[in-house]
Amino acid sequence: MSAGLLLQYVVVALIVLASAWVVLNKQFPGLVRRVRGAIALGLVKPQRAAWLQALGRKIAPPASGGGGACGGCDSCGPTPPKQH
């Protein structure tokens, strides 16, 4: 296999992975959050190397205040008052 063909396969694989990540984020935000949390918890254990712990903290999903009812984006806040 030539180097050019291998590079082409790598680029296509990265594009497919990025596309799959975007679809997962948009369609299943709760699942993505749980998976990120599980991966982060495995990496931040005290017996891990410092760089793995730092990676785990970076991967960890941001803390949510209320934990929305749907487990989604938490953008469902209060409704604006009606104008009469």
Tens-digit pLDDT profile for the chain (84 aa)?
A: 799 999 999 999 999 999 999 999 999 999 999 999 999 999 999 999 999 999 999 999 888 665 555 655 556 666 677 776
Domain count, the chain: 1
What integer pLDDT is reported at residue 74 of this predicted model? 58
Instruction: Read off the DSSP letter of residue 60.
Output: S
Cα–Cα dist 70/15, whole Å: 30
What integer pLDDT is reported at residue 65 of this predicted model? 62
What integer pLDDT is reported at residue 62 of this predicted model? 86
Residue 53 in domain: yes
Cα–Cα dist 24/29, whole Å: 7
What integer pLDDT is reported at residue 40 of this predicted model? 94
Instruction: Determine the structural domain holding residue 34 and report its residue range.
Output: 3-59
Residue 84 in domain: no
Residue that has been written with the tokens 């008052």 in this structure? 81
